[in-house]
Amino acid sequence: MPLSRINTNSIANNSINASDLLDASVTAAKILSVANTQITGNIVSSQITSVANTQISGNIIGSQISRNTWSNTVFQTGSVENYLNSQSMNLGMRNRIINGNMAINQRGTTSGITSGYFVDRWTLSGCSTSATLTSSLPTGFSSGISINATSGNPIAIQKIEAKNCSDLSGRNVTLSFYAKNLSNATTLYASLAYATASDNFGSTTTISEQNLGTLTSDWVRYTYTWTNLASGVLNGLALNLLCAGTGTFSMGITGVQLEVGNAPTPFEFRHFGTELQLCQRYYQQTNSFTGVGASASLYGIVTFPVIMRSSPSIGQTAALQITDGVTNDWTQSPTSISINSSRVSIYGVDFTADNFASVTNYRPYFAKQNVTGLITLSAEL
């Protein structure tokens, strides 16, 4: 016959010496110790001193759990944080990498880069060639890149500005990404380094380079955690992904994520428009400008759709094409296109394009639509 109630004021030493039970609840004023036990009802005591090796599947509604049994450390850096991360419950923008899935490619180059910027925010080093990938990718991904070499270590690099590293000193960060041997690639490496001055990556200090193992012919998600980052990370971080191989070798990469914590979470797919704006902070190109003719030159203004990281440098992809909207169109390659240095900011830029000999002084001109000639603006790190 089941007992119906316990109304004693004390349960101690793993024993029950009360006379009855009620509603599968423990209403004692104090539970000193519960060990090697399963509790499935409600605990309503005002104090729980210690719970060890225990599974509690009911509700704990006591007003106090003492002796720091559940410490701040457990919630901040321990198993609770790792569980939340693994379930994608770490809300907000988790990924410090921009364009980790290589979906934004404002420059439009799809192959042949051996060094310098490729898809947005990614630079290459030590490559013999490269290409964008658009098929045979991990589930959920529609883009990636390949890096290729005949010797040495081809590297894909992303530099993270100081403003996006301001909370990382002393923290743990976890890298995760997908990689695949496309041809003769053998060993995979990842390294993290910090700039020796704020946003100045002319010289860096390597935190560590890690051997992540052997690449296979299948896409595999690789991870690594760097712990207790040095204060130098406040100057900005550089992530390097590289491989070794034999002969001419090639590696594919996509889904790169760097986040706070000890456990990797599923890749954070941000809205395409959001990711594009993040990229435009560092690089933009446009044919949306207005100007006025004067002395065989076009004096123009470009307003940035996104505030740039710093005052940008300016260039062009091809001959600029302009019209006065009435009678005249010109397609010309300016002998020079330059910033009016006193009128450049992170918000917009005044520029001068020379060699427009046929323009009429003081007449307004506009960029022609659907043309190939673009003005480029770079505030890359």
Q: What is the pLDDT averaged over residues 58-74?
A: 50
Predicted confidence (pLDDT) per residue in 85-95, tens digit: 555 555 678 99
Torsion sign, CA atoms 186, 192, 196, 202: positive
Q: What is the pLDDT averaged over residues 296-312?
A: 93
Q: Which helix (H) or strand (E) holds 378?
A: strand 375-378
Predicted confidence (pLDDT) per residue in 24-35, tens digit: 445 444 454 555
Span of 12-26, 200-214, 300-314 with lowest mean pLDDT: 12-26
Strand order in the sheet with 337-344: 329-332, 320-323, 364-367, 290-294, 297-303, 348-354, 337-344
Domain boundaries, the chain: 1-70, 116-278, 283-378
Tell me which architecture the domain covering 116-278 has in CATH: Sandwich (2.60)
Q: What is the pLDDT averaged over residues 319-346?
A: 81
Q: In the prediction, which pLDDT does 57 show?
A: 55
Q: Give the Cα separation of 366 and 287 in Å (integer).
A: 9
Q: Give the Cα separation of 127 and 364 in Å (integer).
A: 46
Q: What is the pLDDT averaged over residues 219-223?
A: 98
41: confidence class by pLDDT, cuts 50, 70, 90: low
Which comes out higher in pLDDT, residue 329 or 15? Answer: 329
Q: Give the Cα separation of 275 and 119 in Å (integer).
A: 13
Which comes out higher in pLDDT, residue 315 or 308? Answer: 308
Q: In the prediction, which pLDDT does 22 show?
A: 45
Supply the mean pLDDT for the chain.
83
Q: In the prediction, which pLDDT does 69 show?
A: 52
Percentage of residues of the chain with pLDDT beyond 70: 76
pTM of this structure: 0.78
Q: What is the pLDDT averaged over residues 256-271?
A: 96
pLDDT greater than 80 at residue 180: yes
Q: What is the pLDDT averaged over residues 324-353?
A: 83
Predicted confidence (pLDDT) per residue in 161-178, tens digit: 999 999 999 999 999 999
Q: Which helix (H) or strand (E) holds 278?
A: helix 272-280
Q: What is the pLDDT averaged over residues 363-370?
A: 85
What does the DSSP assignment read for 115-166? SEE-STT-EEES-SEEEEE-SS-STT---EEEEEESSS--EEEEEE-GGGST
Q: In the prediction, which pLDDT does 154 show?
A: 97
Q: What is the pLDDT averaged over residues 91-107?
A: 93
Residue 281, amino acid: R
- What phi-psi label fits residue 79: left (phi over 0), alpha (psi between -120 and 50 degrees) or beta? alpha
Q: Which DSSP state fits 356? A: -
Q: In the prediction, which pLDDT does 47 show?
A: 47
pLDDT greater than 50 at residue 272: yes
Which comes out higher in pLDDT, residue 229 or 40? Answer: 229
74: confidence class by pLDDT, cuts 50, 70, 90: very low
Percentage of residues of the chain with pLDDT beyond 90: 59
Which comes out higher in pLDDT, residue 378 or 48? Answer: 378
CATH top-level class of 283-378: mainly beta
Q: Is 279 helix (H, G, I), strand (E, B) or coil?
A: helix
Q: In the prediction, which pLDDT does 321 show?
A: 83
Q: What is the pLDDT averaged over residues 303-307?
A: 94
Q: In the prediction, which pLDDT does 334 show?
A: 76
